[in-house]
Amino acid sequence: MNMMSEAAVEKALDQKMSEVSYKMIGKDVSVYYGEKRALFDVNLNVRENTVTALIGPSGCGKSTFLRTLNRMNDTIENCRVTGKITLDTDDIYDANIDVVELRARVGMVFQKPNPFPKSIYENISYGPRIHGLARNKADMDQIVEASLQRAGLWTEVKDRLHESGTGLSGGQQQRLCIARAVAVSPEVILMDEPCSALDPIATAKVEELIHELRANYTIVIVTHSMQQAARVSQRTAMFHLGNLVEENDTDKMFTNPDDQRTQDYIMGRFG
């Protein structure tokens, strides 16, 4: 209990310091898969340097919303997005926006660790290389090391950078994927249930990592675990049947939510 209150104090302080500055603003976002509507006019703002957790029962649209934030839905056939999403001041669905550039600014970590079947080094250097972030080999080495450091993987893999990334354990693979996303220096990192394929120890490591990353990045995370949302996030948004039910400070959300449905879901009455 003591720990909790300490964390609460810390969060309250954070809140005051950063005032409220929004990194991404979603206005009336709706998503259709063919005829089927998956999201209904969602208005959700993502605060800068904050971990925002998206929770809700399966099929509620939280992953769909997450994927609209870096237009990964574009890769799905028949998917249509309406409404407006801005990153800083840019409308990311504007025709002038280069989706490639957008995804460099809004990185993504997926549910299942998906390292490329290449060496650890090449996994990390992949993004910087396609975006031309390194001037020479030394630069690249530096980016790789820094990214692995940030993902807390450096000490574990520094002696085998040229071994295959697929040979790592599940938890290491996921942290490799986070390092890979970090290497492009994104502003926002989207995480789609990043721990659902990991064991509790690996999960704890990734959560710790998310906590540290918050200093430099804005993070949006989809999770099925209530505890995880409570542990890692400062803001929580609850989705249900394609609607945004409630968005609030995580503490308030888990102690005294405004909406009955949130309460029911958190108490485990449905979902």
Partner 1 sequence: MNTSLILLILAFVGLVGYFAGGRHAMALVGGLSSKLHSRPGYYGSFVAIWAIVPAVVILFVWLVASPIYISSSIRGAFPEDVKAQSEAEQGLAYGMISSIARGMNALTNEEIERIGSNPVDLRAALATKGVPLAGDPKPYMVKAAGDLNVMTDISRITMTIVVLAASLAGAFLAYRQIAPRFRARNRVEKAILVSLVVASSIAILTTVGIVLSMLTEATHFFTHIPAWEFFFGTVWDPRFAAAGSGGSEGQFGLIPLLLGTLYIGFVAMLFAVPIGLFSAIYMSEYASPKVRSVAKPLLEVLAGIPTIVYGFFALTTVGPFLRDLSSQLNGLVTGNYSNFIQAQSVLTAGFVMGIMLIPYVSSLSDDIITAVPRALRDGSLGLGATRSETIKKVVLPAALPGIVGALLMTASRAVGETMIVVLAAGVAARMQINPFEPMTTVTVKIVNQLTGDLEFTSPQTLVAFALGITLFVITLCLNIYALYIVRKYREQYE
Residues at the interface with partner 1 (CB under 8 A): 70, 72, 75, 77, 100-105, 107-110, 112, 114-118, 126-127, 130-131, 166, 177, 180-181, 184
Q: How far is the CB of 87 from partner 1 (least distance, A)?
A: 13
Please identify, using beta-carbon distances, which residue of 173 and 223 lies nearer to partner 1: 173
Q: How far is the CB of 100 from partner 1 (least distance, A)?
A: 5
Please identify, using beta-carbon distances, which residue of 77 and 159 lies nearer to partner 1: 77
Please identify, using beta-carbon distances, which residue of 84 and 105 lies nearer to partner 1: 105
Q: How far is the CB of 173 from partner 1 (least distance, A)?
A: 11
Q: What share of the chain is helix, strand, coil (3-state, %, to 5)?
A: 45, 25, 30
Query: Token pair of 69, please?
Result: 């934030």
Of 41, 32, 42, the residue nearest 78 (C-alpha): 32
From residue 198, alpha-carbon distances to 99, 193, 195, 224 in Å are 30, 10, 5, 13
Please identify, using beta-carbon distances, which residue of 187 and 251 lies nearer to partner 1: 187
H helices of the chain, where? Answer: 2-18, 62-68, 99-105, 120-130, 137-150, 154-157, 170-183, 200-213, 226-232, 250-255, 260-266
Please identify, using beta-carbon distances, which residue of 11 and 105 lies nearer to partner 1: 105
Q: How far is the CB of 179 from partner 1 (least distance, A)?
A: 11
Query: Token pair of 224, please?
Result: 């099925």
- DSSP letter, residue 9: H
Q: How far is the CB of 230 from partner 1 (least distance, A)?
A: 27
